[in-house]
Amino acid sequence: MADHCIFCAIVEGKIPSHKVYEDEKTLAFLDIHPSAPGHTLVIPKAHITRVEDLPEEDARHLFAALHKIVGRIQEAMGAPASTIGINNGRESGQEVPHVHIHVIPRNRGDRGGMIQGVSGSPQRLNDEEMARIAKEIRERIKGV
Ligand code: AMP
Ligand code: ZN
Strand partners, 26: 44
Position 33 in a domain: yes
Q: The domain that contains 78 carries what CATH number?
A: 3.30.428.10
Q: Which of 33, 67, 100, 102 is catalytic?
A: 100
Closest CA to 115 of 91, 82, 89, 137: 82
Within-domain flag for 109:
yes
| 98: containing domain | 6-141
Q: Is 59 helix (H, G, I), strand (E, B) or coil?
A: helix
Minimum-distance ligand 1 atom for the alpha carbon of 15: 19
Residue 43 in any domain: the answer is yes
pTM, rounded to two decimals: 0.96
Pocket of ligand 1, beta carbon within 6 A: 6, 15, 17, 31-33, 41, 87, 93-96
- Neighbouring residues of 62: CB distance < 8 A, sequence distance ≥ 6: 25, 26, 42, 43, 44, 54, 99, 101
pLDDT tens digit string along 7-29?
Answer: 999 999 999 999 999 999 999 99
Looking at the domain assignment, is residue 1 inside a domain?
Answer: no
Determine the residue type at 102: H
Looking at the structure of the chain, the number of domains it has is: 1
pLDDT at 41: 99
